[in-house]
Amino acid sequence: METPTKKTKTLSNLPWIGYCSQQHKQNILNNKYLCSDIIISTQNLLKFEFPEINGFQETTLAPVKVNGKWVSETGFQSQESPSVQIHHNGNAHWVLSLQTRDGNIYLLDSLSLNLTTSLEYQLTQIYGKDKKKLIIRIPDVQKQQNSIDCGLFAIANALEFCQTGFKGGTHITYEQKYMREHLIHCLENGKFTHFPKNYFGKTPKNLKTKTHIISINCDCGKPDTIEDMVGCEGKTGRKMCDVWTHRSCAKKNMKGNSWFCEVHR
């Protein structure tokens, strides 16, 4: 009769909190990039603490590119304001979006990178219902001092929004060197407190903000940027039609190499 072998205990199979193991805790302490398990567990705690705020959807709902095409089998669900969401931009970077009670949408990015197609797709799924264009406000925020702490800043800014309505600005700066220990403390205690700050000023009357517009011309409701667009070849008098659609959505209504919208078919 064979003697059963004992499974070797490793940090990865010792539970910690939520989706996370003791290995996740060590990764936080050892200055590693925060993975989706940590972000999801954090959002779940925030969702429990702030039930009046919508969002906090699992980051793994983000679309992926397969064989050159964007695929979103489940996708993010549309959210009513106020809402908040941490996003993976598809390029090893975490950012935060939030929707205030007045319906304005803000993107808080501790590296100030250009929006990726993946991120535009995610924002459209959450905030773009029945819209032809989505206006994203991008305020100045504190910048991380390395390439790996983006997840910490996304979490800290999400918490600040939930607690104070923070929607960006450099009047709040965190003590970056203490953020990892503070995150562990909050997760282990099952309750978030403000991340340590080295500056906390008054909210400026005029928040310095850039804007980014996401066009959503196709009736499918997805952003224009996910694939090539084709325009209707029809005319009203001398004026060309200004209706556009994704090439894949146009296939069923093509006449030769031309596409015509519902009005001009």
**Domain termination site, one of 194, 215, 236:** 215
Specify whether 44 is located in the same domain as 107. yes
Place 207 in a pLDDT band, splitting at 50, 70 and 90: confident
Report the number of secondary-structure helices (H) and strands (E) in the chain.
Answer: 6, 16
Q: 152 Cβ partners below 8 Å, 6+ apart?
A: 34, 144, 176, 179, 180, 183
Q: Hey, what amino acid is at 141? A: V
Decide: 221 and 129 in contact? Cβ < 8 Å: yes
Decide: 146 and 177 in contact? Cβ < 8 Å: no
Specify whether 109 is located in the same domain as 149. yes
At residue 234, does pLDDT exceed 70? yes
Specify whether 187 is located in the same domain as 258. no
Kindly report the backbone phi and psi dihedral angles of residue 97, in degrees, each rounded to the nearest multiple of 5, phi listed first. -115, 150
Specify whether 133 is located in the same domain as 236. no
Specify whether 98 is located in the same domain as 175. yes
* Tokens matching residue 93: 């970077």
Specify whether 134 is located in the same domain as 232. no
In a domain, 220, yes or no: no
Q: Hey, what amino acid is at 180? A: R
* Tokens matching residue 64: 């992926």
> For the whole model, what pTM was predicted?
0.91
Judged by average pLDDT, the poorest of 71-75, 127-131, 186-190 is 71-75
Number of domains in the chain: 2
Dist. CA 34–CA 112, nearest whole Å: 18
Dist. CA 197–CA 44, nearest whole Å: 24
Omega of the bond leading into 82 within 30 degrees of 0 (cis): yes
Place 8 in a pLDDT band, splitting at 50, 70 and 90: low
Kindly report the backbone phi and psi dihedral angles of residue 224, in degrees, each rounded to the nearest multiple of 5, phi listed first. -55, -30
Question: Percentage of residues in the chain with pLDDT exceeding 90?
Answer: 81
Specify whether 153 is located in the same domain as 252. no
Specify whether 146 is located in the same domain as 257. no
Q: 254 Cβ partners below 8 Å, 6+ apart?
A: none
- The mean pLDDT of 220-226, rounded to a whole number, is 96
Q: Is 140 left (phi over 0), alpha (psi -120 to 50) or beta?
A: beta
Judged by average pLDDT, the poorest of 34-38, 71-75, 109-113, 121-125 is 71-75
Give the pLDDT confidence of 103-158 residue by residue, as tens digits: 999 999 999 999 999 999 999 999 999 999 999 999 999 999 999 999 999 999 99
- Print the domain residue range for 259: 228-264
- Residue length of the chain: 265
Query: What CATH number is associated with residue 145?
Result: 3.40.395.10
Specify whether 251 is located in the same domain as 209. no
Specify whether 235 is located in the same domain as 205. no
Structure confidence at residue 9 (pLDDT): 65
* Tokens matching residue 55: 């969002």
Structure confidence at residue 265 (pLDDT): 82
